[in-house]
Structure 1
Amino acid sequence: MTAEVPDDEQRPLISHLLELRMRLLRGLWGFGLVLLLLLPFANRLYAWLAQPLLAKLPKGGQLIATQVAAPFFTPMKLALVTALMLAMPWLLYQLWAFVAPGLYRREKRLALPLLVSALLLFYAGCAFAYFLVLPTVFGFLARITPEGVAMMTDISAYLDFVLVLFLAFGLAFELPVALVILALLGWVTPDQLREGRGYAIVGIFIIAAVVTPPDVISQLLLAIPMCLLYEAGILAARILAPAGGQRDDLA
């Protein structure tokens, strides 16, 4: 004979599931609306994204499409990724609205600024990659292209290359938030972060060498900001970690 779960214990679970469904639907509706608004401008978005490369190509240089459907699907892919990035604040708000009632007051005070900071830092990393890294990298590649070789990049390969750089720099700029979270969890202390600075710098340069194109300039453009962000993370952890070690008993 199976024991039945009382109705008063089922209601909280059902209400949480209903709220989760509502938040997911709202997030998807918001994302779908942004995507719908961007689709008519997909080609313009790609033309804007291609500017760092086109500006460094010789006069008359252009991108090419080596696949039949690439001129259609590649701008659509860019519109999809752009819509996701633009809708991310709305998606994160839906996530926050769902989990916030279960957090302690001190956790709310710390989690919300960290969430906003992480989002802004990711955007800053993407902007840094577009306005500084891409022109520098493409300028270097254009200069070292052998004479008699036309630098004509496939539009799909170019988009994948740029998106990987955006992701790499966006995640790299999350370093201060990651350090603060580690300090708040008690896994490291600000003093340990300061003492391990040398190892961190070596690790940063190794990561920069792996995720960036094989030239010294782009590696430095990632490694130097990460070193500065590491120092910012130590400072932020020193400010926030002592308060994060205490926990309120009231929700």
Structure 2
Amino acid sequence: MEANAASDKYMHIFEHLKELRKKLIISVISFAIFVVVAFAIHNQIVDLFIKFYSSIPSGGENKLFVNSIVEGMTTKIKISLITGLILSMPLHLYNIVAFIFPALNKKEKMCLAAALVCSFVLVIVSIYLSYFKILPISIKFLTDSDFIPQDVGLLLNYNTNLFYALYFVFWSIIGFQSPIVFVLLMAFNIVKRKTALAASRYIIVFIFIISAVVTPPDVVSQVGLALPLVILYFLAILVAKIFKFGE
């Protein structure tokens, strides 16, 4: 009987490994497909971000320039890879959830389902704030006549300034997911609520440091990302208190 039990155990593990392999293959294939799609619609993707530079008052009609003959190609490849990763993220997340969901109890399943809904809402909020609000203000602030005289033209690098905008939106999306992770940690009693509240001053400093690292090097972008994250941090603690997580 012990031999049969051991055999069943190994078979169970083998089935899990087969399922994990299947999920990984699906994720890799989906990423590759989205990269190809992003490569095909590259110009439309670029237009979404370079439009912010068309309203700059300084300089001539052309705002962005390339500095080498390979810059256009390398930028297109990088844009396609990053866009493919972003577009395939929902499928990656689905595969992760589908893999671990059967092993969760009823309470854990409810917490995870609620977290997914909140995650989607925060993605929309982060895109709205970063793309439609903070990014235009940041570019306008940095190219204002207070810093660049009106009779001085601008020669902006295509790759650098395109990724200035893209990375800001990307890291905003990632950053806005941190409260979801934080609430889940308290829901599963990995982090205690009292500990989170006591460490808030250090977390605030950490948020501002991370914002300074991942955002473009200007105060507007850094504060624009850090302040919402600080608010969401305390909101996560409030949610945990309401539902008695992390006690």
TM range (shorter): 0.7 to 0.9
Number of paired residues? 241
Code of the residue aligned with 1:80 in structure 2: it is L
Report what 1:168 is aligned to: 171
The Cα of 1:128 is off from its aligned counterpart by 2.0
Question: Which residue of structure 2 lines up, in the alignment, with residue 234 of structure 1?
Answer: 237
Describe the superposition over 1:24-75 as per-residue Cα deviations: whole angstroms up to 9, x where unpaired. 2222333333333332211121122211222225450321111212222312
The correspondence of residues 2-81 of structure 1 with structure 2, limited to 5 A, is 7-58=7-58, 59-81=60-82
Matches within 5 A, 1:1-251: 7-58=7-58, 59-143=60-144, 144-146=147-149, 148-186=151-189, 188-194=191-197, 197-242=200-245
- How far apart, CA to CA, are the structure 1 residues paired with 2:170 and 2:44? 21
Identical pairs, percent: 30
1:76 and 1:54 mapped to 2: Cα distance?
23
**Closer, same or farther in 2 for the Cα pair 1:35/1:187, shift >3 Å?**
closer
- Where 2:154 maps in the other structure, the secondary structure is coil
Q: CA deviation at 1:93?
A: 0.9
Structure 2 vs 1, CA of residues 21 and 140 (structure 1 numbering), >3 Å: closer, same or farther? same
Measured at CA, do residues 200 and 235 of structure 1 come closer, stay the same or move farther in structure 2, by a change above 3 Å?
same
Q: Which blocks of at least 5 consecutive residues in structure 1 are unaligned?
A: 246-251
Report if aligned partners of 1:183, 1:241 keep a CA contact under 8 Å in 2: no
Conservation of the 8 A alpha-carbon contact between 2:57 and 2:150: no
Larger deviation: 81-90 or 27-36? 27-36
Once the two structures are superposed, what CA deviation does each residue of 1:71-91 show, in whole Å capped at 9, x if it has no partner? 223123212222221221112
**1:91 partner letter:** H
Q: 1:116 to 1:32 in 2, by over 3 A?
A: farther
Within 1, Cα distance between the matches of 2:221 and 2:44?
27
One-letter code of the match for 1:36?
V
Seen in structure 2, the aligned counterparts of structure 1 residues 188 and 38 have a Cα distance that, compared at 3 Å, is closer
Partner amino acid, structure 1, of 2:25: L
Of residues 181-190 and 221-230 in structure 1, the stretch that sits farther from structure 2 once superposed is 181-190
What's the TM-score, normalizing by structure 2?
Answer: 0.81
Distance in 2 of aligned mates of 1:123 and 1:75: 25
Residue 154 and residue 24 in structure 1: after superposition, are their counterparts in 2 closer, same or farther (change >3 A)? Answer: same
TM-score (norm 1): 0.79
Note the C-alpha offset of 1:103: 1.9
Q: Supply the AA of the counterpart residue of 2:95.
A: Q
